[in-house]
Amino acid sequence: MTAPIIDIRDVSKRYDDGPPALAGLTLSVEKGEALAVLGPSGSGKSTLLNMIAGLDRPTEGSVTVAGARVDRMSETASARFRRERIGMVFQFFNLLDDLTVLDNVLIPAQLSGVGRAEARDRAAELLDNLDIARHARAYPGRLSGGERQRVAVARALMNRPALLLADEPTGALDSASGAEVRELLAELNADGQTILLVTHDLALAGSCATRTIELVDGRIARDEHAVAR
């Protein structure tokens, strides 16, 4: 068995006051898995995601992602790491409103210094695959929620990340749009994309997760592999 793509050991995270957001959490995720993280609000789901992306540092413990110790990286190294190995999707899309759909999708490639033509080809391919090519020159403000989230997914996939992180990707969508995104994520995983998604949405967990964990007070309360999908 190959090394896990995510290997989290005894991670705790405490903010200034109050109970810890994560309390001695250990978790390992294999390549090709689609892991759904469930749990009530405030249970530490986003904190966990931020640890994995190197956006925040654990107070204790180690976080290894794709073979690299994320918790020990410098700011620059973790930025480069995110750029190349991780794609992120958020509840509220986090698209840059003053850039077109195409320009939003291009950002990760441009930050990595990928050649212009290569980046455009990849963006065109993604927009096409995700069925938003006709909006390439539009601004995000004009798109529906589902379309915006698909743009965000396209942007996340731009640099062919080893790991796709999604924080409540359907949380801000109506049920029809939510279904679109669910399908999209399931397809991506079926094509081999490793996904870690945080959600409240049991339908989302049910339809695309190969494994589900539940966080309560910064601890894993339940860890189940889907029997069949």
Partner 1 sequence: MSALGKVVRAGVGRRRVQSLVMVLTTMMAVTASVMATALVVASQAPFDHTFAKQHGAQLAAAFDSGRASREQVAATAHAHGVTAASGPFLLLSLAVRPQPPEGMPAPPVDPVLSLAGRAQAAGPVDDLTVVSGHWPTGPGQIVVTDGWGPPDVLGSTLHLPGVQGDPALTVVGTARSATSTADAWVTPAQAAALTRPGSTPSYQMLYRFGTAGSTAAMTANRAAVSAAAPAGSLQGSQSYLVVRAAAVRQTATFVPFVVALGVLGLVMSVLIIGIVVSGAVSAGTRRIGILKSVGFTPLQVARAYVGQALIPASVGTVLGIVLGNLAAVPLLAQAEGAYQSGTLAVAGWIDVAVPAAVLALVVASALVPALRAGRLRTVEALAIGRTPQVGRGRWAARLAGRLPLPRAFSMGLAGPFARPARSAMIAAAIVFGAVGVTFAYGLGASLNGVQRGLNLDMPGQVGVDPFPSQAGAPGGKPAAPSRLADPAAVARVIAEQPGTKGYFSSVFTDVHFLGVSDAVTAVAYRGDSSWGAYQMVSGRWFTRPGEAVVGHRFLQATGTHVGDWTTLDGDGRSTRVRIVGEALTTGDGGMRVLTDAGTLERAGISVRTATFSIELKPGTDRDRYVAALNKALDPVGASARASQGQISATVVAIDAITAFLTLMLVLVAGLGVLNTVVLDTRERVHDLGVLKALGMAPRQTVGMVITSVAGIGALAGLVGVPLGIALHDVIVPRMGDAAGTRIPPVDMAVYHAPQLVPLAFGGLLIAVLGALLPATWAARTRTATALRTE
Among positions 8-47, residues that touch Mg ion (CB under 5 A) are: 46
Pick from 220, 213, 192: nearest CA to 5: 192
CB of 170 to ligand ADP, least distance (A): 15
* Dist CA 201 CA 141 (whole Å): 25
Among 110, 160, 174, 190, binds partner 1 (CB under 8 A): 110
Edge-to-edge, what's the strand order for the sheet holding 22-29? Answer: 22-29, 6-13, 60-65, 68-69
By CB under 8 A, tell whether 190 contacts partner 1. no
CB of 154 to partner 1, least distance (A): 12
Among positions 12-51, residues that touch partner 1 (CB under 8 A) are: 46-47, 50
Residue 135 DSSP one-character state: G
* Tokens (6 digits) for 99: 């850039």
Binding mask 196-225 for partner 1 (x = CB under 8 A): ------------------------------
**3-state DSSP of 141-208:** HHCCHHHHHHHHHHHHHCCCCCEEEEECCCCCCCHHHHHHHHHHHHHHHHCCCEEEEECCCHHHHHHH
Considering beta carbons, is residue 77 or 226 the nearer one to partner 1?
77
By CB under 8 A, tell whether 68 contacts partner 1. no
Name the site residues for partner 1 (rule: CB under 8 A).
46-47, 50, 53, 55-56, 75-76, 79-84, 86, 88, 90-92, 94-100, 103, 106-108, 110-113, 139, 141, 155, 159
